[in-house]
Structure 1
Amino acid sequence: MRALRSKREPTIALINIVFLMLVFFMVAGTLSPPLDRDLSLVNTRDLDARPPPDALVIHSDGQMSFRGVGMPDAATYMSTLEQDAQTEVRIVPDQTLPAAQLVAIGQDLRRAGARKVIIVTERGLQ
């Protein structure tokens, strides 16, 4: 009597395909560089998905910079903006910046003429 041989599944081929797909997505995916090397963004959920245009970067020690140039205060930053850009001002604070200092800078921006101050943060994962 003849023994029945079971057909073997081509698992090696399937593993190769999955591995090639993994390599493809690793190569095809790109990460955007951070605004500054020492900046860690604040985590939030349900953030408006608009990308931040030119924004005022506030470092953990309270130093401010705009397009890589240091800004001594909020009024100086506002004076560099065109009249149309002063209606909606975006700021990118460091995660370790004290909240009281962030609020004070926001108030300074409002006093200097900003109608709306938007804080740009990192989207929370879940």
Structure 2
Amino acid sequence: MKKDKPDNVVFSDDDGYNASLLSYSTSVGAPVIKMDDVVSWKSRGITNVNKEFENKFNELKMQYQDLMKEYEWNELVYSARFSFEPVIGETYHLYLGDDGVYFLSLISPQEWNKEHVGTFKLNSNKKWVILNR
């Protein structure tokens, strides 16, 4: 089979010389068509997204730990012994009695020689907020 045209000439049996109609360059001196290296772009994107997920996970983990601490303190105070109805906004002190039972009192640690566990305030949602330990 003999070639009529050289390799660098764009010719089609159906369309003839159609180099000017093509969407890409056909001459030998045209710039090289290169595929972009998307692997490094993907790697950077994956790294950035993974860091964002890790930060969000750590933030949620810290919030969960704080919530569990609040729950444990509330569980401790609500299970403590007290013989009065706590008033919202007042400060109360939690002590460990000689019998090993926790009890809630209005008396501050400076006025009493008992093992002080923490100072709490009852908020409007009936949640005990720890002020200091």
Provide TM-score, normalisation by structure 2: 0.33
Structure with greater Cα Rg = 2
* Greater RCO, CA 8 A, separation 6+: 1
